[in-house]
Amino acid sequence: MSGAAALADAGTKAPPRDCPLCPRLAAYRQANRAANPDWFNAPVPSFGPTDARLLVAGMAPGVKGANRTGRPFTGDHAGVLLYATLLRYGLAEGSYGADPTDGLRLVDCRITNAVRCAPPVNLPQPREVATCNQFLIAELDGMANLRAVLALGVLAHAAVLKACGVPPTRIRFRHGAVHELPDGLLLADSYHVSRYNTSTGRLTPAMFGQVVAMLVERLNGGGSERDPLSARET
C-alpha cells in the first residue's frame, strides 16, 4: 500500500482517509476493510502532476480496481484502454501493470474522479456526487496550468460543470464534443472506458483514441471548434 499512499500530494485539498461525509460510502468502506484488510479501502487520491494541462475525470473508483490498489483506473478493466491510450499519445510514460508500483508516469496529464470513494454497485448517489464536488473544485483550483478536462461519462461531465459554476443543464454531454466554458477551460466528453461500454462496442479503442488525439492537438495549438469530433457550446 506504500505505492498507493505515495500518490497523495499536499498540493490539493483531498478527503481524509476516514472521510465521514457520505454515510453510505463510509459504511461500504468499512465493510470492505473488514472483508479485505490488505486493500487500499479509502478515498482514492488523484494521480499525476498538478502542473498538468489536462485533467481526466472519471466517475468513482471501482471496488476491485482503484479501491483495491489506491490509484485511479488501476486494477480493473477500465484502466486497460485508458492507460494504453494515454501512453499512445504521449500523456504517459512507462508501462501499465495494473498496479500502483508499476512505474507508470503521467505526462502533462492528471487523473481524478468525481466521487473519491467506491460506491456500492459502482453507482454513486446524487447527494454523494454533490458532497464530493468540493474536492473536485479544489482539484481544478490547484492546477495552475489547467487548460482542458476530459470527462468520462455523463456523471463526470455534470460534476465538472458544477465545479466550474455552470448549470449541468446548460451544456449537454455528447461523446466527442469539446465545450468551451465561460472561463476558457475546455471540457471534452467521452463515453466511459468501462467494461460494459467497450464490450458492447459503445466505445471502441479507435473512438477513444480520436477524442484523446483531438485534445492533444487542441492543447498544442491545433484544431478548432470545426474539428469533426468537436463542437463549441456555451
CATH of the domain at 166: 3.40.470.10
229 occurs within a structural domain: no
Structural domain range at position 134: 2-8+15-219
135 occurs within a structural domain: yes
The residue length of the chain stands at 234
Range in 57-61, 114-118, 135-139, 228-232 with the lowest mean pLDDT? 228-232
224 occurs within a structural domain: no
Q: What is the pLDDT at residue 225?
A: 47
Q: For the residues 198-225, what does the mean pLDDT come to?
A: 92
Percent of the residues in the chain that have a pLDDT greater than 90, as a whole number: 88
With beta carbons less than 8 A apart as the criterion, state whether 194 and 139 touch: no
Q: What is the pLDDT at residue 209?
A: 99
233 occurs within a structural domain: no
| pLDDT-based confidence at residue 13 (cuts at 50, 70, 90) | confident
Per-residue pLDDT tens over the stretch 218-229: 999 876 543 333
156 occurs within a structural domain: yes
46 occurs within a structural domain: yes
Residue recorded with cell 487520491: 45
Q: For the residues 78-100, what does the mean pLDDT come to?
A: 98
C-alpha cell at 21: 461525509
pTM for this structure? 0.90
- The structural domain count of the chain equals 1
Quote the CA–CA distance of 230 and 185 in Å, as a whole number: 14
Cα–Cα nearest to 219, from 54, 51, 56, 47: 54
79 occurs within a structural domain: yes
With beta carbons less than 8 A apart as the criterion, state whether 60 and 126 touch: no
